[in-house]
Chain A
Amino acid sequence: MSSSNILKVIIAIAIGAGIGLIYGWVIDPIEYVDVTPNILRQDYQIDYVLMTAEAYHYDFDAQIAAKRLAILGSESPAEIVAKALQYANNNNFSELEIQSLQTLLTAMQTYQPQENP
């Protein structure tokens, strides 16, 4: 095989690889169907934290609230709520919603996880 043919083959491989990448990333990317909550869009995550805060307002159970927040990632519940509170303050959440988040934040900051027997 002449050197010009080898070059043509290499170029063909590169073009094929490029088409393959476009197909795999853009045209037909892998579809996720069973995702975990930590990759939810930020506003959905914040709404989930807000719901947890509202639910906490109903039962005042810090342990359950911490458990609910734990599915959002490896950060501590207090950090998760603090971020949500910051988002709420920056995005004109209602006073009641901010108050709910503030109450949950206070609870999470003082919450001590119970040890499993």
Chain B
Amino acid sequence: MSKRNISTLYIVLALLFGFGIGLVYSWFISPVTYVDANPAILQADFKNQYRIVIAFSYQATQDLERAKARLSLLGDADPIGALSAQAQQMLAAGEPFEKAQPLAQLAKDLQLGYVSNPVTATPFPTFNTPTVEATVEETATNFTVTPEAGFTSEPTLFFEQTPLIPIQETITPRPTFTAVVSNSNPFNLVGQETVCDPSKQALMQLIFLDSRDNEVVGVEIVVTWNAGESNFFTGFKPELGNGYADFVMQADTVYNIQVVTGGAFVPNISAPTCTEPNGFEYVGGVLLTFQR
């Protein structure tokens, strides 16, 4: 190897060495620091907190477009699904229904595209209300009594009937009323159907209606079986209905259903066996409808 080649080799090695030092410094010792981050790159738990605040803020303002814009900052592929999933996770973690409900409500309204449960704004609390000292001034008023003028009516000789114009009434559709659970009449099982749909295998579907056939959100259901129990609420899958809830059953297991809010008890529910025309057998589902 000539002297010239050795010298070139040293220079190339020195360049690589310098490049390595530069990378180590810029990636590990003094990396780029973010100061103007956007909510999309927040840690998952902070994103959850962000969603909660958006949902509670929406409860106060009822500004659906703004809530939608704020949610878009989080960069969720499916904001409605993310809200519903978070609400369900909160309930599964034992959080009270009142904390998860705003998330479910926002998910539902985003699904519907309008504010489904408008609330009356709460007035701001007033602090340091100034005290006003009232001064009453008495003013003497003199009344003059004037005798009433006589009234004479003149008879109308001609009367022309104004032709009647048919009134075209515009009917503005109103948002569907969403019933909220109240402790009134109990729910009763009014329908039980076997669902043979391969895409809904072993699915226990529950629908809760009020006396006007409106779906009822927020009904708590407890399903028990020999190996455990599970509780859940209606309204957390708004795309399937406000009064809808479901539960995946196991084959050969018997379930008892207790409606916590307004008390029906339905024992001995199990997944039926369905058979397709070609003889293929699979575990079917059940659709239970409750009404009060």
B-side interface mostly: helix
Q: How far is the CA of A35 from the CA of B56 in the complex (A)?
A: 23
The reply to whether A20 and B73 contact each other, CB–CB distance below 8 Å, is no
What size tier do the contact residues of chain A reach? 35 or more
Q: Which residues of the other chain, A, contact B27 by a CB distance below 8 angstroms?
A: 24, 30
A-B contact count (CB 8 A): 152
Contact B53 A14 (CB under 8 A): no
Q: Which chain A residues lie closer than 8 Å to B247 at the CB level?
A: none
State the CA gap A14–B22 with chains docked (Å): 9
Q: A48–B37 contact, CB under 8 A?
A: no
Task: Show the binding face of A for B, using Cβ within 8 Å.
Answer: 1, 5, 8-10, 12-25, 29-30, 32-37, 39-42, 44, 47-48, 50-52, 54-55, 57-60, 68, 71, 99-100, 103, 106
Residues of B within 8 A of A35 (CB): 34, 37, 41-43
Interface hit among B119-127, B184-192, B204-212, B267-275: B119-127
Closest to A40 in B: B37
Given contacts A14-B18, A19-B15, A34-B41, 4 further A-B contacts (CB under 8 A): A21-B25, A24-B25, A33-B41, A103-B125
Residue of B nearest to A106 (CB): B127
Q: Is the CB of A13 within 8 A of B17?
A: yes
Instruction: Tell me the bound Cα distance from A34 to B42 in angstroms.
Output: 5
Decide yes or no whether B38 CB sits under 8 A from chain A.
yes
- Set A20, A99, A103: member contacting B25, Cβ < 8 A: A20
